[in-house]
């Protein structure tokens, strides 16, 4: 390996580590805030003080108050404990379902593979966003509708990704040796197949979290997600639209909070992708 190649490899490695470190730091801060929100918030996020509505940022209200006099900082902090768990749930559920179906399709093949792939082909024939909107609209607003729609649509990518990796690993010598040794299929899958196939799935999971965070805010903004008066970031932006000129902090602050979280998750995903690509 030439000196230039070594230098480039080291630069890529350092860049990957920097992305992962910054991404983990940002994401970890949000998780910490979500966990400590009940103790960090300076006021009740639902307490109204109409006489002090649309107050600008001050010592008493660091991020001002909204149209009902509610403390914006308290609602932002509480929103972390609402948005993060929901975003994680709407990402993990399709991941688990898609992984399970991908393992069955890739390892056993045959009719199981045909059924999983045909259903995934059918779902991919429709634009993902449109299909999710239709499902949420049909099921009605609320967190349960989001969980169902995200899972019904999002499992396809995970299933295809895992299926390809499992089909590749299935022909490996160590899997053949395990089969020859008389190990049952569930044990082979748990001990030999999954540990060698989930790297790319985990990388995609971090990227999918970015979509989950932004999509959750978008659905709540449109009125199909978390409903008022729950302090959800997207719903806060929607409620603040009529006051954009008089109180811009009501839209700018939650928008920046969403953007920074998405940026941190994107950095984490890029760093993991770079690290995986070198192997």
To the nearest 5 percent, what fractions of the chain are helix, strand and coil? Answer: 80, 0, 20
pTM value is 0.89
Q: Under CATH, to which class is 3-277 assigned?
A: mainly alpha
**Helix (H), strand (E) at residue 110:** helix 110-124
CB 269 within 8 A of CB 207: yes
- What's residue 45's pLDDT? 94
CB 170 within 8 A of CB 193: yes
Distance from chain centroid for Cα 133? 18
Structure tokens at 58: 């001050």
CB 98 within 8 A of CB 119: no
Rg of the chain over CA atoms, in angstroms?
23
What are the sequence ranges of the domains in the chain?
3-277
**Helix (H), strand (E) at residue 276:** helix 249-277
- What's residue 279's pLDDT? 44
- Dihedral sign, CA of 235, 239, 244, 249? negative
The Cα 30–Cα 124 span in angstroms is: 33
Q: Going residue by residue through the chain (279 aa), what tens digit of pLDDT does each one get?
A: 565 444 555 656 767 888 999 999 999 999 999 999 999 999 999 999 999 999 999 988 999 999 999 999 999 999 999 999 999 999 999 999 999 999 999 999 889 999 999 999 998 888 888 888 888 888 888 889 999 999 999 999 999 999 999 988 888 888 888 888 888 888 888 888 888 888 889 888 988 999 999 999 999 998 888 888 889 999 999 999 999 888 999 999 999 999 999 999 999 988 888 766 544
Q: Is 50 exposed, middle or buried (0-12, 13-18, 19+ CB in 10 A)?
A: exposed
Q: Is 86 exposed, middle or buried (0-12, 13-18, 19+ CB in 10 A)?
A: buried
Region of residue 173 (phi > 0: left; psi between -120 and 50: alpha; otherwise: beta): alpha
- What are the φ/ψ torsions at residue 49 (nearest 5 degrees)? -140, 80
Nearest to 118 by CA among 86, 58, 148, 159: 159
The Cα 231–Cα 242 span in angstroms is: 17
CB 232 within 8 A of CB 79: yes
- Dihedral sign, CA of 147, 149, 150, 155? positive
The Cα 134–Cα 136 span in angstroms is: 6
The Cα 264–Cα 21 span in angstroms is: 10
- What's residue 275's pLDDT? 64
Query: Which of helix, strand or coil describes residue 203?
Result: helix
């Amino acid at each position: 390996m030439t000196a230039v190649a070594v230098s480039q490899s080291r630069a890529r490695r350092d860049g990957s580590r920097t992305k992962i470190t910054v991404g983990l730091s940002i994401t970890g801060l949000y998780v910490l805030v979500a966990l400590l929100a009940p103790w960090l918030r300076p006021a009740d996020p639902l307490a109204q003080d109409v006489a002090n509505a649309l107050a600008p940022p001050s010592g008493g209200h660091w991020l001002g108050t909204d149209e009902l006099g509610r403390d914006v900082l308290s609602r932002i902090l509480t929103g972390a404990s609402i948005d993060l768990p929901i975003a994680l749930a709407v990402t993990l559920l399709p991941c688990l379902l898609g992984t399970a179906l991908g393992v069955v399709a890739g390892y056993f093949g045959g009719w199981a593979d045909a059924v999983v792939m045909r259903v995934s082909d059918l779902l991919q024939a429709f634009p993902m966003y449109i299909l999710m909107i239709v499902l949420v609209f049909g099921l009605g607003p609320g967190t349960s509708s989001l969980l169902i729609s995200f899972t019904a649509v999002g499992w396809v990518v995970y299933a295809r990704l895992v299926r390809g990796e499992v089909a590749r690993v299935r022909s490996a010598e160590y899997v053949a040796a395990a089969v020859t040794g008389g190990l049952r299929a569930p044990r082979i899958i748990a001990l030999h197949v999954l540990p060698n196939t989930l790297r790319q799935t985990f990388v995609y999971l971090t990227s999918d979290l970015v979509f989950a965070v932004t999509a959750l805010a978008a659905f709540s903004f449109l009125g199909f997600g978390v409903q008022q008066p729950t302090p959800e970031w997207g719903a806060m932006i929607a409620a603040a639209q009529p006051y954009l000129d008089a109180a811009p902090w009501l839209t700018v602050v939650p928008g920046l909070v969403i953007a920074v979280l998405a940026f941190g998750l994107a950095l984490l995903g890029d760093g993991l992708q770079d690290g995986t690509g070198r192997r």
